[in-house]
Amino acid sequence: MSRFNGQVMVVTGAAQGIGRGVALAAAGEGAQLVLCDRSPLVHEVLAEVQASGALAIAVQADLETHQGAADLMAAAVEAFGRIDILVNNVGGTIWVQPYQEYAPEQVEAEIRRSLFPTLWCCHAALPHMLAQNKGAIVNVSSIATRGIYRIPYSAAKGGVNALTASLAMETAQSGIRINAVATGGTEAPPRKVPRNPKPLSEQEQLWYQAIVDQTRDSSLMHRYGTIDEQVRAILFLASPEASYITGTVLPVGGGDQG
């Protein structure tokens, strides 16, 4: 398949997990890639992508800031002259605990982590897409908008869903499609860079297991998905196959609608 021949795709959170999976799969379908992460591990993924023969660059940036997002899009345009597709993949809960246990600074950190990178990257990419009257954005959301023990993360992903729907209304007449994939529980290798490096306490382990149990129970298939199952949905929405789809949040959670 060559759905992305000649297309410039920016992938954020590309150093591991779903972001890495999107990068490798898109490279195999002809995309020219701009891989972004704040971890230097993104350069390892760059080497994998380039080994497959794809044109690609890597950018280290903190996308929780507008400047980081602006620098990323500027680097993409400098390298390739345009931005056709943006996959906003940065996010992920940092702490696992009942809402009343969160300190105020933890709530703010969760929102910065899982909402602001998508807000800022859309803001920074849109002028380039509007100038060419064409583009596709896929935001990675979560079915955790209905879930336990990570309420600030749930709220952030609810914001991603609202952004997706509203921004699609603003930009559809300009040739830009904006959709989201609400990922369900996903089996993945241990994170090379943990979101919370502090070991979980015994109580936190119990709360984490409760999330796992609730996620499986809420899925009609009663299982976690794979990275590939999430990647296929993301790339479908990014591709011309979804040319008449915009403003949609697609749950990919084995029947859990989020």
Reading the chain (258 residues) residue by residue, the pLDDT tens digits are 699 999 999 999 999 999 999 999 999 999 999 999 999 999 999 999 999 999 999 999 999 999 999 999 999 999 999 999 999 999 999 999 999 999 999 999 999 999 999 999 999 999 999 999 999 999 999 999 999 999 999 999 999 999 999 999 999 999 999 999 999 999 988 888 878 888 999 999 999 999 999 999 999 999 999 999 999 999 999 999 999 999 999 999 999 998
Model pTM above 0.85: yes
Any domain includes 1 = no
pLDDT for res 1:
63
Any domain includes 146 = yes
DSSP codes, 102-162: --HHHHHHHHHHHTHHHHHHHHHHHHHHHHHT-EEEEEEEEGGGS-SS-HHHHHHHHHHHH
For residue 49, count CB atoms less than 10 angstroms from its CB and return exposed for 0-12, middle for 13-18, buried for 19 or more. Answer: buried
Amino acid at 75: A
pLDDT for res 194:
78
- 55 and 81 in contact (C-beta within 8 Å)? no
Any domain includes 258 = no
Q: How many residues in the chain?
A: 258
Among all chains, which residue has been given the structure tokens 């800022």?
120
Domain count, the chain: 1
Neighbours of 174 (CB within 10 A): 14
> How many whole angstroms separate alpha carbon 48 and alpha carbon 142?
27
**Backbone torsions φ then ψ of 150, nearest 5 degrees:** -155, 50
Q: Taking Cα atoms as reference points, which of 2, 23, 37, 45 lies closest to residue 195?
A: 37
Among all chains, which residue has been given the structure tokens 């709220």?
155
Any domain includes 257 = no
**Domain that includes residue 204, residue range:** 8-252
CATH of the domain at 228: 3.40.50.720
- 29 and 54 in contact (C-beta within 8 Å)? no
* Distances 171 to 126, 133, 135 between C-alpha atoms, Å: 9, 9, 10
* Element spanning 187, H or E: strand 186-187
Q: Taking Cα atoms as reference points, which of 55, 91, 60 lies closest to residue 75?
A: 60
Any domain includes 116 = yes
What does the block give as tokens for 197?
A: 């490096």
- 15 and 37 in contact (C-beta within 8 Å)? yes
pLDDT for res 190:
84
pLDDT for res 207:
96
pLDDT for res 168:
98
Catalytically annotated residues: 153
Q: Taking Cα atoms as reference points, which of 37, 39, 128 lies closest to residue 85?
A: 128
* Element spanning 9, H or E: strand 8-12
DSSP codes, 204-246: HHHHHHHHHHHHHHHSTT-S-EEHHHHHHHHHHHHSGGGTT--
Any domain includes 59 = yes
